[in-house]
Every structure is written in structure tokens, then in C-alpha cells.
């Protein structure tokens, strides 16, 4: 069983997995991650606490000092940085030497390509045609119109077809008097337009 012991009075602590509590308190934290508990206590500014573990009759007490980050030797860190910079410098010199050695081959490739393009241009004959304004007006192209009378349209045999569903026949009645009046109106309109 793991127990968190805080002796400082008047603190209100919330740890995920436990209900909030006030100090001083002894709380069972055996089902919660110890690093989580320590980080929450550090966030809340609690520096004096103990975590006591009772396993097989042996009691072990952990304090904040056991979880504190140990400072590295500054001299060792400086040596590490120097080694890294040396490696980086060596890599940069290798890259630069490789780039310098590659440039002549690139120049040769470019000159070869330019020469081949120049030969192709010389092979092609260029013709220059001078066109006057009068000739340019005569040369205007008319759009090509396709004729549709040559197109084959198959006929459809509708003798055996049947129509299903409702059909209705509509009859239109025509008055002979109305037709005469309409024809007169149309003839007047035609005369007025001319």
C-alpha cells in the first residue's frame, strides 16, 4: 500500500482518481501513478510531502528530494556541445567538397544540351512570309460548316408498340368567326411593319 503524507495545514488538493481533500492528510495512492501525484504536488507548490510504501513488512519513505531532477555536470555538457559542433562542421565540409566536385560535370551536361539544341535549330529551315494589309484581309478564314444531310438516321418501327396507362383525348373547338378576325389582325400588323 502506498500512502501520501502531507503535514502542512490549510491546503486544498485535487488529484485525479481521488476526491479533493484538505491537509494535513494521509491518503492512499496505491492505484494512482506516483509520477502523476508528484507532478501535481509540484504544480500546487507543495514541497514537503512523503510517500510511504508498505510492501512485505518493509517500509520505504520517498520525499521530494528523491524526485528532484539532478543537475548535470556543466563541464560534461560543454564537451557534448563541442563534439556535436565538430561533427556538424565535418558534415558541412564533406557536403561542400561534394558540391564543388559535382559542378564541372553539371557544366558539361549543360553545354552538351545547348549544343544539341543549336544543331536542331540549324537543321530546321525557317521561312519568312511578308503579308500586306490587303492580302491579310483576303486570307480571312471562314468557319467550316458541316452538312447534316449526309448523316444516317435509322428509322424506328412502331407498329408493335403499345402504350400503357391513362390516355386522354383533348378536343379543340374552333370558331370560324374567330379565325377570320385573327387573320384580319395579322394582316393589319404585317402592313404596319412594312
Average pLDDT over residues 145-170: 70
Q: Which of 118, 144, 178 is the endpoint of a domain?
A: 118
Q: Are residues 43 and 14 in the same domain?
A: yes
Please, which residues have CB within 8 angstroms of residue 7's CB and are 6 or more apart in sequence? 23, 24, 48
Q: Are 48 and 7 in contact (CB under 8 A)?
A: yes
The answer to the question of residue 10 being in a domain is yes
Q: Are 50 and 62 in contact (CB under 8 A)?
A: yes
Domain that holds residue 21: 2-67
- The pTM score is 0.35
Q: Are residues 17 and 38 in the same domain?
A: yes
Q: Are residues 10 and 50 in the same domain?
A: yes
Q: Are residues 11 and 63 in the same domain?
A: yes
pLDDT recorded at residue 63: 76
Q: Are residues 32 and 7 in the same domain?
A: yes
pLDDT digits (tens, 9 = 90+) for 86-126: 888 888 888 888 776 655 566 777 888 888 888 887 777 66
Q: Are residues 92 and 60 in the same domain?
A: no
Q: Are residues 53 and 110 in the same domain?
A: no
Task: Give the total number of structural domains in the chain.
Answer: 2
Strands lying side by side in the sheet with 25-28: 25-28, 2-6, 50-55, 58-63
| Separation CA 185–CA 192 (nearest Å) | 11
Please, which residues have CB within 8 angstroms of residue 162's CB and are 6 or more apart in sequence? none
Amino acid at each position: 500500500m502506498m500512502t501520501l503524507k502531507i503535514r502542512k495545514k490549510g491546503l486544498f488538493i485535487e488529484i485525479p482518481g481521488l476526491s479533493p481533500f484538505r491537509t494535513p492528510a494521509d491518503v492512499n495512492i496505491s492505484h494512482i501513478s506516483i509520477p502523476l501525484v508528484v507532478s501535481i504536488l509540484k504544480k500546487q507548490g507543495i514541497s514537503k510531502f512523503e510517500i510511504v510504501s508498505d510492501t512485505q513488512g518493509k517500509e520505504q519513505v520517498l520525499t521530494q528530494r528523491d524526485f528532484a531532477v539532478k543537475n548535470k555536470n556543466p563541464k560534461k555538457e560543454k564537451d557534448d556541445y563541442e563534439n556535436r559542433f565538430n561533427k556538424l562542421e565535418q558534415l558541412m565540409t564533406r557536403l561542400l567538397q561534394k558540391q564543388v566536385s559535382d559542378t564541372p560535370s553539371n557544366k558539361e551536361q549543360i553545354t552538351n544540351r545547348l549544343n544539341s539544341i543549336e544543331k536542331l535549330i540549324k537543321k530546321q529551315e525557317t521561312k519568312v512570309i511578308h503579308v500586306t494589309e490587303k492580302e491579310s484581309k483576303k486570307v480571312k478564314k471562314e468557319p467550316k460548316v458541316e452538312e447534316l444531310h449526309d448523316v444516317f438516321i435509322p428509322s424506328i418501327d412502331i407498329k408493335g408498340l403499345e402504350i400503357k396507362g391513362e390516355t386522354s383525348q383533348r378536343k379543340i373547338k374552333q370558331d370560324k368567326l374567330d379565325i377570320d378576325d385573327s387573320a384580319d389582325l395579322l394582316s393589319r400588323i404585317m402592313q404596319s411593319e412594312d
